[in-house]
Chain A
Amino acid sequence: MVIPAGTCGQASGANDLIAAAEKEILLCGLDKNIRVRVTGCHGFCEMEPSVLIEPDNTFYPQVKPDDIPRLIKAVLDGKILEDLLLVSEEGKKYYHQNDLPFYQTQVRSILAAHEKIDPLSIANYIENDGYSAIAEVLENGAPEAILAEVKNSNLRGRGGAGFPTGKKWEMLANQSNGSGKYLICNADEGDPGAYMDRSVLEGNPHSIIEGMLLGAYATGATAGVIYVRKEYPLAIKHLELALTQAAEYGLLGDDILGKGFSFNLSLAKGAGAFVCGEETALIRSIEGKMGEPRQRPPFPITKGLYRKPTAINNVETWANIPIIIRQGAKKFTGVGTRNNSGTKIFSLVGKIKNTGLVEVPMGITLKEIIYGIGGGPSAKAKIKAVQTGGPSGGCIPTARFDLAIDYDSLVDAGSIMGSGGMIVMDEHTCMVDVAKYFMAFLKDESCGKCFTCRKGTQRMYELLEDISQGKGTLKHLELLKELAEVVKDTTMCGLGQTASNPVLSTLRYFRDEYLAHIEKQQCPAGVCKALITYSINENCTGCGMCVSVCSEEAISGLRKQRYKIDSDKCIKCGTCKGVCKFEAIEVS
């Protein structure tokens, strides 16, 4: 009985399920017949807390603790509880996890391991082929061979820029090894709505350690640091335990597995600044300095942590390494496209039916992810766009959903891959508001060193705020565009250079929405508060639900008759619309 309990699972109540299951098993003395395995997230967060029954992989979504005794009994009897199964809108029942449309087109080379592995147990990881790659390599492999394998795999860094990992490692290997070299795992993951790295750290921390061991062996690095944000307490807990266990098993430290190879790995906790994900800022943060990017060159590969040669890779990049070494570069390049091999995990969130982590081959189209795996819009409204790449990314409209996604195609479309956030937006999302949201994030998260990034993001926010309040003019648009381009041009690090993307991409694809705000003083999506009014139409049955939730006492009228909203009192919070069962509340 597998219960995923990553941060997402725990938030939706997985801990209660685990307690209920363990109690039931203990009470009925079934510990010989059935075992509970607590794992990291499997990806389908929407359906958590979920239970997976092995070996058939029967999938039960959103299970309640009260159902556990029944479920355990059914498992013992070899039966399936039909009423707890996931049912599609057409009434089709899904028995096995693999039948779910959510999983069908996924290629889960990283995430599938999460089902099998208890992240608290190194033995469990080893049972599942864990550390076999490094053991094999230390026995028979040469560093050059691993380097060649990673190069041939065409793996590109999953942290955002897509730099070829093999090339980066080769540069590190070529640095003279006078006084040590470093490896860093970048687990700062600060994009709003992105949590794939967290899930890998929580679900399979040893795979990162093994990846870094292989990297160290290939490049001659002597020490490594995993930089993880403090906001990931569960990931930190699992990592700390994994590091202790690995050291106890002789997999870290001096003379690893008795083969004369040494590598020390430590953990550094970041205070959760988005900009500390940028590699030079991250290095300064580890050194105990202020998290501020610096001019490159010199690149970290020549002058990195403590001024020693350093290679930085993303969590997901490291997680791919043991897989590549175990199955070989050839098999790895078999998935994905020519210049973009392997799989990529996306966190699919927003106005979509199936939110969660999806791992797909590179080159899959946006349409397949959003309508296939994601199951289309979560509400009646049509999907309008998808935002990729986090705050530095851009919005891609439905018209371009045929785009096969990889690092290069997304840049052409005015966005970026980023670390893999994918926020789906429907007709009730206002693009001016979206741009404003990201600009608010960036003006807080810019380190503030470059004047044009610090002030530029503030000024872009100011202009967007004006537009969203109906105070915008065509001059605002012109200035916004001009400013956005200068900010892109004149800033030092990736944060500033991409900070204009939310503005530029919405201007490129959704200019008409901006114009509606400016010329007609209208917000077509009904979001910008200054431009909308709430009213009640003839659908109103006079049930009084809206009256009872309105904190401003803005709704009045007689029971069983049509109510009225006093627009002077209304603060446009939308609470009434949320509770009305008759679609009687209109936004115009």
Chain B
Amino acid sequence: MINLVINGLPVAVEEGSTILEAAKYLGFPIPTLCHLEGLSNYGACRLCVVEIGEGPKARLVSSCTYQVEEGLKVRTASARVVKARKMVLELLLASCPQSKVIQDLASAHDVRQQRFRQEHEDCILCGLCIRMCEEQMMAKAIGFRNRGENRSIGTPFDMKSEECRLCGGCMYVCPACQLRCTYMEPEKAICGGCANLSPPCLEKSSFEDMMCYMDPCVACEIRKD
């Protein structure tokens, strides 16, 4: 067991646990976006940052990827953490304003302004869909491509993937488009693709079947054929 102190409270957790797990065990809330139980930890959204260490050596790390260390001192809601978290949410909101998940998080963390130029990028590249596809659906149909501002998610060469079984798992876990598909409950599935978004991660043309479980769509009355 590893002993550490979170917000002043000592706790002992198993070796190999992350700070996030330890904090959860003690009941300290840490917001997350790219973390999902059952999938590997990736550390893309940076929302889960916490402060570790003391004095000039204090720094922020993503709690979902940082493994506990003996004697570690963690603060989950210091002024520095809160400031960083709010900025992350402000940035998220500026790029992906339609996401209900992000809106709720921003509201819960008292983000009251958005000072950047509004974009509608939809996808925040959290990589949940990729991990879902690889780790739970064993398909590996989609992945990251390119780097920096050109980074995107999709199938190799944007071609219809032979690995994809159209399970919809990717959309199910997506924080940006999750309201569009509800996987096995077709009666609830309204894709919304007609109203505002195209799926951020997949080429619409090659995955028409996934757009909506209603045929014709109740909202836009587009037929599949």
**Footprint of B on A, CB under 8 Å?**
273, 275, 290-291, 295, 297, 442-452, 454-459, 462, 475, 479, 482-483, 486, 489-492
Closest 3 CB pairs of A and B: A448-B151, A486-B87, A295-B65
Residue in B42, B84, B91, B147 whose beta carbon sits within 8 Å of that of A455 in the complex: B91
Check if B116 sits within 8 Å of A443, measured CB to CB.
no
A447 to B43, CA, bound (A): 13
Question: Interface residue tally of chain B, by bracket?
Answer: 35 or more
Contact B66 A462 (CB under 8 A): no
Mask of B22-66 contacts with A, CB within 8 angstroms, 1/0? 000000000000000000001111100100000000011110011
CB within 8 Å of A: which residues of B?
42-46, 49, 59-62, 65-67, 69, 80, 83-84, 87-88, 91-92, 94-95, 115-117, 124-127, 144, 146-151
A-B contacts counted at CB < 8 A amount to: 95
CB of A273 within 8 A of CB of B88, answer no
Closest Cβ neighbor of B66 among chain A residues:
A295
The reply to whether A448 and B88 form a contact with Cβ atoms under 8 Å apart is no
Q: A444-B147, A490-B84, A492-B46 are in contact. List 20 more A-B contacts (CB 8 A).
A: A295-B43, A295-B65, A297-B69, A446-B149, A448-B144, A448-B147, A449-B43, A450-B43, A450-B44, A451-B92, A451-B125, A452-B87, A454-B125, A455-B91, A459-B91, A479-B116, A486-B84, A486-B87, A489-B59, A489-B80
Given known contacts A446-B147, A450-B46, A462-B117, A482 and B87 CB-to-CB distance under 8 angstroms? yes
Chain B nearest Cβ from A9, distance in angstroms: 33
CB neighbours (8 Å) of B67 from chain A are 297
Complex: A459 Cα to B88 Cα, angstroms: 12
Q: A448-B125, A450-B44 are in contact. Are A443 and B148 (CB under 8 A)?
A: yes
Residue of B nearest to A442 (CB): B148
- In the bound assembly, the distance between CA atoms of A449 and B42 in angstroms comes to 9
Docked-complex contact B147 and A275, CB < 8 angstroms: yes
Which residues on the B side are within 8 Å of A449 (C-beta)?
Answer: 42-44, 125, 127
Task: Provide the bound-state CA to CA distance between A445 and B151, in Å.
Answer: 10
- On whether the beta carbons of B151 and A454 are closer than 8 Å, the reply is yes
Contacts A451-B88, A452-B91, A454-B125; A490 near B46 (Cβ below 8 A): yes
Closest to B41 in A: A295
* Interchain CB contact (< 8 A) of B149 among A443, A450, A451, A483: A443
Shortest CB-to-CB span from B19 to chain A, Å, is: 11
B residues in contact with A490, CB < 8 Å: 46, 49, 60, 62, 84, 87-88
Given A295-B65, A443-B148, A486-B83: A492 and B91 interface contact (C-beta under 8 Å)? no
7 CB contacts below 8 A, A to B, read A290-B144, A295-B65, A295-B66, A451-B124, A454-B151, A490-B46, A492-B65
What is the distance, in angstroms, from A492's C-beta to the closest C-beta of chain B?
A: 6
Residues of A within 8 A of B117 (CB): 462
Q: Contacts A447-B147, A456-B91 given: A295-B62 contact, CB under 8 Å?
A: yes
Give the CA-CA distance A275 to B80 in the complex, in Å: 27
Chain B residues with CB below 8 A from A459, complex form: 91, 94, 116
Q: How far, in angstroms, from A291 to B146 measured CA to CA in the complex?
A: 10
Report yes or no: A489 in contact with B60, Cβ–Cβ below 8 A. yes
Across the interface, do A458 and B149 meet the contact criterion of CB distance under 8 Å? yes
In whole angstroms, how far apart are the Cα atoms of A136 and B184 in the complex? 72
Of B94, B127, B144, the most chain A CB neighbours within 10 A belong to B144
Contact B149 A452 (CB under 8 A): no
User: Across the interface, do A455 and B95 meet the contact criterion of CB distance under 8 Å?
Assistant: yes
CA distance in complex: A295, B65 (Å): 7
Q: Chain A's nearest CB lies how many Å from the CB of B121?
A: 9
By a CB distance below 8 angstroms, the chain A residues around B45 are: 451
- Expressed in whole angstroms, the minimum distance between the Cβ of B191 and any Cβ of chain A is 26
Q: How far is the CA of A458 from the CA of B80 in the complex (A)?
A: 22
Query: In whole Å, how far is A510's beta carbon from the nearest beta carbon of chain B?
Result: 23
- Point out the residues of chain B lying under 8 angstroms from A448, CB to CB: 125, 144, 146-151
Given A295-B62, A459-B116, A489-B60, residue A454 in contact with residue B87 (CB < 8 A)? no
